[in-house]
Structure 1
Protein backbone atom coordinates (compact mmCIF):
# COMPACT_ATOMS: atom_id res chain seq x y z
CA UNK A 1 0.00 0.00 0.00
CA UNK A 2 1.19 3.50 -0.87
CA UNK A 3 -0.03 6.45 1.20
CA UNK A 4 -0.28 10.12 0.33
CA UNK A 5 -1.38 13.12 2.35
CA UNK A 6 -2.24 16.76 1.78
CA UNK A 7 -2.44 19.43 4.46
CA UNK A 8 -5.22 21.67 3.19
CA UNK A 9 -4.85 25.39 3.89
CA UNK A 10 -7.21 28.35 3.36
CA UNK A 11 -7.48 30.23 0.07
CA UNK A 12 -9.55 33.39 -0.36
CA UNK A 13 -10.16 33.36 3.41
CA UNK A 14 -10.19 37.14 3.91
CA UNK A 15 -12.87 37.59 1.26
CA UNK A 16 -15.12 34.64 2.15
CA UNK A 17 -15.05 35.01 5.93
CA UNK A 18 -13.83 31.51 6.78
CA UNK A 19 -10.46 29.79 7.14
CA UNK A 20 -11.24 26.44 5.56
CA UNK A 21 -8.59 23.86 6.44
CA UNK A 22 -8.18 20.14 6.87
CA UNK A 23 -6.43 17.05 5.58
CA UNK A 24 -6.76 14.62 2.72
CA UNK A 25 -5.30 11.13 2.67
CA UNK A 26 -5.04 8.69 -0.20
CA UNK A 27 -4.20 4.99 0.15
CA UNK A 28 -3.45 3.06 -3.02
CA UNK A 29 -3.54 -0.74 -3.16
CA UNK A 30 -3.44 -2.99 -6.19
CA UNK A 31 -7.14 -2.59 -6.90
CA UNK A 32 -8.44 0.31 -4.82
CA UNK A 33 -7.90 3.98 -3.98
CA UNK A 34 -9.25 5.03 -0.58
CA UNK A 35 -9.81 8.77 -0.22
CA UNK A 36 -10.45 10.44 3.14
CA UNK A 37 -10.95 14.19 3.51
CA UNK A 38 -11.82 16.03 6.70
CA UNK A 39 -12.52 19.76 6.52
CA UNK A 40 -13.09 22.39 9.19
CA UNK A 41 -14.28 26.01 9.09
CA UNK A 42 -15.65 25.86 5.56
CA UNK A 43 -18.68 28.01 4.68
CA UNK A 44 -21.48 26.33 6.64
CA UNK A 45 -24.45 24.57 5.08
CA UNK A 46 -22.80 24.80 1.67
CA UNK A 47 -21.99 22.12 -0.88
CA UNK A 48 -18.25 21.86 -1.47
CA UNK A 49 -16.89 20.58 -4.74
CA UNK A 50 -13.54 18.88 -4.17
CA UNK A 51 -11.05 17.50 -6.69
CA UNK A 52 -7.45 16.93 -7.44
CA UNK A 53 -5.96 19.19 -10.05
CA UNK A 54 -2.80 18.74 -12.08
CA UNK A 55 -1.07 18.94 -15.42
CA UNK A 56 -1.79 16.18 -17.95
CA UNK A 57 1.86 16.25 -19.10
CA UNK A 58 3.02 15.23 -15.60
CA UNK A 59 4.55 18.53 -14.52
CA UNK A 60 4.26 18.98 -10.76
CA UNK A 61 1.31 21.12 -9.70
CA UNK A 62 1.67 23.70 -6.94
CA UNK A 63 -0.89 25.37 -4.72
CA UNK A 64 -2.30 28.72 -5.79
CA UNK A 65 -1.72 31.74 -3.56
CA UNK A 66 -2.83 35.37 -3.56
CA UNK A 67 -0.13 35.97 -6.18
CA UNK A 68 -2.36 34.09 -8.65
CA UNK A 69 -4.97 36.88 -8.49
CA UNK A 70 -3.88 38.27 -11.87
CA UNK A 71 -6.90 40.55 -12.35
CA UNK A 72 -6.41 41.93 -8.81
CA UNK A 73 -10.07 41.66 -7.82
CA UNK A 74 -9.16 40.23 -4.41
CA UNK A 75 -10.20 36.65 -5.27
CA UNK A 76 -8.19 33.75 -6.68
CA UNK A 77 -10.81 32.17 -8.91
CA UNK A 78 -10.79 28.76 -10.58
CA UNK A 79 -9.31 30.06 -13.85
CA UNK A 80 -6.51 31.85 -12.02
CA UNK A 81 -5.38 28.59 -10.38
CA UNK A 82 -4.70 26.85 -13.70
CA UNK A 83 -1.23 28.34 -14.39
CA UNK A 84 0.05 26.95 -11.07
CA UNK A 85 -2.16 23.94 -10.43
CA UNK A 86 -3.30 22.70 -13.84
CA UNK A 87 -6.77 21.49 -14.65
CA UNK A 88 -9.48 19.76 -12.66
CA UNK A 89 -8.87 16.02 -12.94
CA UNK A 90 -10.67 13.71 -10.49
CA UNK A 91 -13.69 14.71 -8.39
CA UNK A 92 -14.19 13.60 -4.82
CA UNK A 93 -17.91 12.96 -5.10
CA UNK A 94 -20.19 9.92 -4.95
CA UNK A 95 -18.28 8.12 -7.76
CA UNK A 96 -14.80 9.56 -8.44
CA UNK A 97 -14.00 6.73 -10.89
CA UNK A 98 -16.58 8.13 -13.35
CA UNK A 99 -14.77 11.50 -13.51
CA UNK A 100 -18.10 13.30 -13.86
CA UNK A 101 -17.35 16.76 -12.48
CA UNK A 102 -20.19 19.28 -12.84
CA UNK A 103 -23.09 18.10 -10.67
CA UNK A 104 -24.51 18.45 -7.17
CA UNK A 105 -23.32 15.20 -5.55
CA UNK A 106 -20.51 16.60 -3.40
CA UNK A 107 -20.28 16.89 0.40
CA UNK A 108 -22.27 19.56 2.22
CA UNK A 109 -20.79 21.20 5.32
CA UNK A 110 -22.80 21.15 8.51
CA UNK A 111 -23.81 24.31 10.39
CA UNK A 112 -20.33 24.46 11.94
CA UNK A 113 -18.55 24.28 8.57
CA UNK A 114 -17.40 20.68 9.08
CA UNK A 115 -17.57 17.77 6.70
CA UNK A 116 -15.85 14.42 6.31
CA UNK A 117 -15.63 12.41 3.11
CA UNK A 118 -14.53 8.81 2.66
CA UNK A 119 -14.73 6.83 -0.56
CA UNK A 120 -13.26 3.56 -1.78
CA UNK A 121 -12.68 3.84 -5.51
CA UNK A 122 -12.13 0.93 -7.93
CA UNK A 123 -8.67 1.74 -9.25
CA UNK A 124 -9.05 -0.06 -12.60
CA UNK A 125 -12.14 1.95 -13.56
CA UNK A 126 -10.57 5.20 -12.39
CA UNK A 127 -7.27 4.69 -14.21
CA UNK A 128 -9.07 3.61 -17.41
CA UNK A 129 -11.17 6.79 -17.39
CA UNK A 130 -8.16 8.89 -16.37
CA UNK A 131 -6.19 7.53 -19.34
CA UNK A 132 -9.06 8.32 -21.73
CA UNK A 133 -9.22 11.87 -20.43
CA UNK A 134 -5.52 12.66 -19.98
CA UNK A 135 -3.52 10.16 -22.04
CA UNK A 136 -1.93 8.27 -19.14
CA UNK A 137 -3.28 5.82 -16.58
CA UNK A 138 -0.76 7.00 -13.96
CA UNK A 139 -2.55 9.21 -11.41
CA UNK A 140 0.81 10.62 -10.20
CA UNK A 141 -0.78 11.74 -6.94
CA UNK A 142 2.44 13.30 -5.65
CA UNK A 143 2.31 15.74 -8.58
CA UNK A 144 -1.26 16.89 -7.81
CA UNK A 145 -3.02 19.34 -5.54
CA UNK A 146 -6.38 19.08 -3.77
CA UNK A 147 -8.88 21.92 -4.08
CA UNK A 148 -11.99 22.49 -2.00
CA UNK A 149 -14.51 24.86 -3.61
CA UNK A 150 -17.76 26.58 -2.77
CA UNK A 151 -19.19 29.64 -1.07
CA UNK A 152 -22.80 30.54 -0.26
CA UNK A 153 -24.85 31.85 -3.18
CA UNK A 154 -25.52 35.09 -1.31
CA UNK A 155 -21.81 36.00 -1.01
CA UNK A 156 -21.23 39.11 -3.11
CA UNK A 157 -18.67 38.24 -5.81
CA UNK A 158 -17.46 40.79 -8.35
CA UNK A 159 -18.25 40.10 -12.00
CA UNK A 160 -14.52 39.52 -12.55
CA UNK A 161 -14.60 36.24 -10.57
CA UNK A 162 -14.60 33.58 -13.27
CA UNK A 163 -15.62 29.98 -12.88
CA UNK A 164 -18.89 29.16 -14.65
CA UNK A 165 -19.04 25.39 -15.29
CA UNK A 166 -22.22 24.27 -17.01
CA UNK A 167 -25.05 25.93 -15.12
CA UNK A 168 -22.93 26.22 -11.95
CA UNK A 169 -21.64 29.73 -11.29
CA UNK A 170 -18.50 31.03 -9.59
CA UNK A 171 -20.04 30.56 -6.12
CA UNK A 172 -19.80 26.81 -6.66
CA UNK A 173 -16.31 26.80 -8.20
CA UNK A 174 -14.51 29.45 -6.13
CA UNK A 175 -11.56 27.76 -4.38
CA UNK A 176 -11.67 28.05 -0.59
CA UNK A 177 -8.78 25.74 0.34
CA UNK A 178 -5.89 23.92 -1.29
CA UNK A 179 -3.22 21.38 -0.39
CA UNK A 180 -0.24 19.75 -2.11
CA UNK A 181 -0.39 15.96 -2.17
CA UNK A 182 2.80 14.32 -0.91
CA UNK A 183 3.81 10.67 -0.68
CA UNK A 184 4.22 9.61 2.96
CA UNK A 185 4.94 5.87 2.60
CA UNK A 186 5.28 2.98 0.14
Structure 2
Protein backbone atom coordinates (compact mmCIF):
# COMPACT_ATOMS: atom_id res chain seq x y z
CA UNK A 1 0.00 0.00 0.00
CA UNK A 2 1.30 3.43 -0.95
CA UNK A 3 1.27 6.15 1.72
CA UNK A 4 2.03 9.76 0.90
CA UNK A 5 3.09 12.53 3.26
CA UNK A 6 3.39 16.25 2.50
CA UNK A 7 4.98 19.21 4.25
CA UNK A 8 4.31 22.82 3.33
CA UNK A 9 7.63 24.49 4.13
CA UNK A 10 7.43 28.04 5.52
CA UNK A 11 10.14 30.64 6.22
CA UNK A 12 12.04 30.82 9.50
CA UNK A 13 14.55 33.55 10.35
CA UNK A 14 13.51 35.46 7.20
CA UNK A 15 14.09 38.91 8.73
CA UNK A 16 17.60 38.00 9.81
CA UNK A 17 18.66 36.34 6.56
CA UNK A 18 16.89 38.71 4.15
CA UNK A 19 14.94 36.10 2.21
CA UNK A 20 11.77 34.07 2.82
CA UNK A 21 12.66 30.49 1.95
CA UNK A 22 9.61 28.35 1.20
CA UNK A 23 8.64 25.19 -0.62
CA UNK A 24 7.14 21.75 -0.31
CA UNK A 25 8.28 18.25 0.51
CA UNK A 26 6.58 15.00 -0.41
CA UNK A 27 7.39 11.55 0.92
CA UNK A 28 5.89 8.56 -0.86
CA UNK A 29 6.27 5.25 0.96
CA UNK A 30 5.65 2.33 -1.36
CA UNK A 31 6.44 -1.25 -0.30
CA UNK A 32 10.22 -1.29 0.14
CA UNK A 33 11.16 2.26 -0.80
CA UNK A 34 10.68 5.85 0.22
CA UNK A 35 10.65 8.47 -2.55
CA UNK A 36 11.53 11.96 -1.32
CA UNK A 37 10.94 15.16 -3.29
CA UNK A 38 11.79 18.58 -1.85
CA UNK A 39 11.55 21.79 -3.85
CA UNK A 40 12.61 25.11 -2.36
CA UNK A 41 12.34 28.70 -3.51
CA UNK A 42 13.90 31.95 -2.28
CA UNK A 43 16.63 30.30 -0.21
CA UNK A 44 19.97 32.09 0.12
CA UNK A 45 21.48 31.76 -3.37
CA UNK A 46 24.46 29.59 -4.31
CA UNK A 47 24.48 28.00 -0.85
CA UNK A 48 24.52 24.39 0.30
CA UNK A 49 21.36 23.64 2.27
CA UNK A 50 21.34 20.91 4.86
CA UNK A 51 17.85 19.42 5.15
CA UNK A 52 16.53 16.84 7.60
CA UNK A 53 13.51 15.65 9.43
CA UNK A 54 13.55 16.26 13.16
CA UNK A 55 11.49 14.61 15.86
CA UNK A 56 11.29 13.04 19.28
CA UNK A 57 12.59 9.46 19.64
CA UNK A 58 10.00 8.90 22.42
CA UNK A 59 7.19 9.28 19.88
CA UNK A 60 5.50 12.58 20.71
CA UNK A 61 4.60 14.78 17.76
CA UNK A 62 7.12 17.44 16.80
CA UNK A 63 6.01 20.98 16.01
CA UNK A 64 7.70 23.59 13.83
CA UNK A 65 9.70 26.32 15.51
CA UNK A 66 8.62 29.94 15.18
CA UNK A 67 10.29 33.15 16.31
CA UNK A 68 8.71 32.40 19.72
CA UNK A 69 11.56 29.89 20.19
CA UNK A 70 14.18 32.70 20.05
CA UNK A 71 14.98 32.13 23.74
CA UNK A 72 17.95 34.53 23.88
CA UNK A 73 16.16 37.24 21.85
CA UNK A 74 19.02 37.70 19.36
CA UNK A 75 16.66 37.84 16.37
CA UNK A 76 17.43 34.28 15.20
CA UNK A 77 16.03 30.85 16.05
CA UNK A 78 19.14 28.69 15.96
CA UNK A 79 19.34 24.90 15.86
CA UNK A 80 19.52 24.36 19.66
CA UNK A 81 16.49 26.62 20.13
CA UNK A 82 14.36 24.39 17.85
CA UNK A 83 14.88 21.29 19.98
CA UNK A 84 12.23 22.03 22.64
CA UNK A 85 9.40 21.91 20.08
CA UNK A 86 10.95 19.92 17.23
CA UNK A 87 13.17 17.35 18.87
CA UNK A 88 16.47 16.16 17.47
CA UNK A 89 17.87 15.90 13.97
CA UNK A 90 16.98 12.43 12.69
CA UNK A 91 17.29 11.73 8.96
CA UNK A 92 19.28 13.82 6.48
CA UNK A 93 18.12 14.52 2.94
CA UNK A 94 21.52 14.25 1.33
CA UNK A 95 23.08 11.82 -1.16
CA UNK A 96 22.37 8.79 1.08
CA UNK A 97 19.64 9.35 3.71
CA UNK A 98 19.74 5.68 4.70
CA UNK A 99 23.33 6.14 5.99
CA UNK A 100 22.08 8.80 8.47
CA UNK A 101 25.44 10.57 8.31
CA UNK A 102 24.36 14.12 9.23
CA UNK A 103 27.51 16.25 8.83
CA UNK A 104 28.67 16.06 5.22
CA UNK A 105 28.85 18.05 1.99
CA UNK A 106 26.36 16.10 -0.16
CA UNK A 107 23.29 18.26 0.44
CA UNK A 108 21.61 20.31 -2.32
CA UNK A 109 23.07 23.65 -3.40
CA UNK A 110 20.70 26.42 -4.44
CA UNK A 111 21.11 28.20 -7.76
CA UNK A 112 21.55 31.96 -8.29
CA UNK A 113 17.78 32.45 -7.80
CA UNK A 114 17.72 30.51 -4.52
CA UNK A 115 15.95 27.50 -6.04
CA UNK A 116 16.74 23.82 -5.68
CA UNK A 117 14.92 20.55 -6.15
CA UNK A 118 15.94 17.36 -4.38
CA UNK A 119 14.75 13.93 -5.52
CA UNK A 120 15.88 10.57 -4.18
CA UNK A 121 14.46 7.11 -3.65
CA UNK A 122 15.72 5.42 -0.52
CA UNK A 123 15.71 1.68 0.30
CA UNK A 124 13.27 1.63 3.19
CA UNK A 125 14.72 -1.43 4.97
CA UNK A 126 18.19 0.12 5.09
CA UNK A 127 16.82 3.42 6.41
CA UNK A 128 14.64 1.69 9.01
CA UNK A 129 17.57 -0.45 10.20
CA UNK A 130 19.80 2.61 10.67
CA UNK A 131 16.92 4.52 12.29
CA UNK A 132 16.36 1.66 14.76
CA UNK A 133 20.08 1.59 15.57
CA UNK A 134 19.98 5.32 16.36
CA UNK A 135 16.54 5.72 17.96
CA UNK A 136 15.40 2.28 19.12
CA UNK A 137 12.50 1.93 16.68
CA UNK A 138 12.24 1.28 12.96
CA UNK A 139 8.98 3.25 12.66
CA UNK A 140 9.81 6.56 10.95
CA UNK A 141 6.42 7.99 12.04
CA UNK A 142 6.65 10.68 9.37
CA UNK A 143 3.40 12.31 10.47
CA UNK A 144 5.03 13.08 13.85
CA UNK A 145 8.07 14.78 12.28
CA UNK A 146 9.00 18.21 10.98
CA UNK A 147 11.36 19.09 8.16
CA UNK A 148 14.03 21.77 8.41
CA UNK A 149 16.00 23.46 5.65
CA UNK A 150 19.24 25.02 6.91
CA UNK A 151 22.06 27.18 5.64
CA UNK A 152 23.11 30.77 5.02
CA UNK A 153 26.22 32.12 3.29
CA UNK A 154 29.38 32.53 5.36
CA UNK A 155 29.27 36.22 4.38
CA UNK A 156 26.10 36.77 6.48
CA UNK A 157 26.99 38.35 9.81
CA UNK A 158 25.39 36.38 12.65
CA UNK A 159 25.38 37.46 16.30
CA UNK A 160 27.86 35.57 18.51
CA UNK A 161 24.82 34.19 20.36
CA UNK A 162 23.71 32.10 17.35
CA UNK A 163 24.68 28.52 18.18
CA UNK A 164 24.50 25.26 16.27
CA UNK A 165 27.99 23.94 15.62
CA UNK A 166 28.03 20.34 14.37
CA UNK A 167 31.55 18.94 14.13
CA UNK A 168 33.55 21.33 11.96
CA UNK A 169 30.40 23.02 10.60
CA UNK A 170 29.35 26.32 12.15
CA UNK A 171 26.00 28.04 12.68
CA UNK A 172 26.00 29.36 9.09
CA UNK A 173 25.53 25.76 7.93
CA UNK A 174 23.00 24.73 10.59
CA UNK A 175 20.88 27.89 10.92
CA UNK A 176 17.27 26.95 10.08
CA UNK A 177 15.85 28.98 7.19
CA UNK A 178 12.54 27.13 6.68
CA UNK A 179 10.46 24.44 8.33
CA UNK A 180 7.29 22.43 7.81
CA UNK A 181 5.10 19.90 9.60
CA UNK A 182 4.94 16.55 7.78
CA UNK A 183 1.35 15.34 7.46
CA UNK A 184 -0.38 12.34 5.90
CA UNK A 185 -1.85 13.23 2.53
CA UNK A 186 -5.46 12.31 1.73
TM-score by length of structure 1 reads 0.99
2:127 match: 126
Listed as ranges, the matches of 1:69-148 within 5 Å are: 69-148=70-149
| Structure 2 residue 4 is the aligned partner of structure 1 residue 37 | no
SS in 2 for 1:158: coil
State the 4+ residue runs in structure 1 displaced beyond 4 angstroms: none
TM-score by length of structure 2 reads 0.99
1:20 match: 21
2:47 match: 46
SS in 2 for 1:127: helix
Residue ranges of structure 1 left out of the alignment (5+ in a row): none
Residue ranges of structure 2 left out of the alignment (5+ in a row): none
Task: Provide the aligned length of Structure 1 versus Structure 2.
Answer: 185
SS in 2 for 1:79: helix
CA separation in 2, counterparts of 1:29 and 1:114?
28
CA separation in 2, counterparts of 1:66 and 1:122?
36
1:158 match: 159
Deviation by residue 1:87-133 (Cα, 9 ceiling, x = unmatched): 00000000000000001110000000000000000000000000000
| Structure 2 residue 10 is the aligned partner of structure 1 residue 9 | yes
Q: 1:30 deviation in Å? A: 1.4
SS in 1 for 2:185: strand
CA separation in 1, counterparts of 2:30 and 2:42?
31
